[in-house]
Amino acid sequence: MSKSFVELNDVKLRYSEGDELALETTNMKIDKGEFIAVVGPSGCGKSSLLKLVSGLMPPSEGNVIVDGKEVSGPLKIVGMAFQNPTLLPWRTTLDNVLLPMEIVKPHRNRLRKHRAEYEERARKLLATVGLEGHEDKYPWELSGGMQQRASLCRSLIHEPDLLMLDEPFGALDAFTREELWDILQNLWMIKPFTVILVTHDLREAAYLADTIYVMSKRPGKILVERENTLPRPRDQETTFTQPFTDLVHELRSHIRDVREA
């Protein structure tokens, strides 16, 4: 078996000394290029999990290992996208997507000289999410779905090994959301990167993930680890097949148990 890319070993988290636990003993192993989803009731510490793995928050106990090294501070090349697209309003779509290039090494030192090359790369990426022709628009000129696409491009432009998605499609209408599932799946299938997706949309988890973790109410704890072997690429039709609906049902019943517990 290949060595895991991300490992959580007996991780516990409290926000401050003496607080009750936000995250109860958690163990996780994520392979390189694996797409995992974490589902659970709101306030169960799903987002904290992302912060732990990306090193934005240290665990109170246990350790987090990414790429063979223990995480002791913010990792340097993680891509992140949130429910709120958080684009910079004074930058065009293209410049927003290029933001990570101004920060991540070695790109930050190369950007000025090789600007055209980087712009080309950003344009290509924007085209794959259907934003061709919108590169020079400002965020307020884009719809919510388009902003979220741009945000997704920003999180991927530097080709991160690890992508963290915190309910990135939560604020979108159902059609846009399912369109973006396909876009994300495509990008991931072309060149697999490791993804941790936090969501409360069970269909989203079933559509996208290889492994789905169900978390309990606070203090958060992983109750179920469910592999999802539905063949890829998954598409609209997949969502109407028996195995897909069975999987969503199963997840739903886990969540029901969690909420009633």
Partner 1 sequence: MKKKLNLRKATPWLSAIGLFVLWELIVRIFNIPPYVLPTPSESIIVGWQFHEAIWMHAYHTLYTTLAGFAIAVVFGVVLGALVGSSRAIYDAANPLLVGFNSVPKVALVPVLVMWFGIGTVPAIITAFLISFFPIVVNVATGLATLEPELRDVLRSLGATRRDILIKVGFPRAMPYFFASLKVAITLAFVGSVISETVASNVGVGYLMLSASSKFNMPLVFAGLLVIAVMGIAMYEIFNVIERRSTKWANRGNPTN
Cα(136)–Cα(41) distance, rounded to whole angstroms? 39
User: Residue 182 Cβ, how far from partner 1 at the closest point, in Å?
Assistant: 24
Choice between 49 and 247, CB closer to partner 1: 49
Question: Rounded to 5 degrees, what are φ and ψ at 110?
Answer: -100, -20
Name which of 53 and 247 has its Cβ closer to partner 1. 53
Touching partner 1, residues 142-201 (CB under 8 A)? 154-155, 158, 164, 166
Among the candidate windows 51-59, 194-202, 229-237, 239-247, which touches partner 1 by CB under 8 A? 51-59
Stretch that binds partner 1, among 80-88, 178-186, 190-198, 231-239 (CB under 8 A): 80-88
Q: Where are the alpha helices (DSSP H) in the chain?
A: 46-53, 93-98, 107-110, 115-128, 144-156, 174-190, 202-208, 242-260
Q: 259, 227, 241, 219: which is closest to 20 by C-alpha?
A: 219
104 burial type by CB count under 10 A (0-12 exposed, 13-18 middle, 19+ buried): middle
Identify which of 255, 261, 186 has the alpha carbon closest to the alpha carbon of residue 46.
255
- The nearest distance, CB 45 to partner 1, in angstroms, is 16
Q: Is residue 88 within the footprint of partner 1 (CB under 8 A)?
A: yes
The piece of 78-86, 121-129, 206-214, 242-250 that touches partner 1 (CB under 8 A) is: 78-86
What's the burial of 39, exposed, middle or buried (CB within 10 Å: 0-12/13-18/19+)? buried
Contact between 76 and partner 1 (CB under 8 A)?
yes
Closest to partner 1 by CB, 81 or 258: 81
Contacts of 191 (CB under 8 A, 6+ apart): 159
Task: Say whether residue 86 binds partner 1 (CB under 8 A).
Answer: yes
Q: Which residue ranges make up the site for partner 1 (CB under 8 A)?
A: 51, 54-56, 74-82, 84, 86, 88-90, 99-100, 102-105, 138, 140-141, 154-155, 158, 164, 166
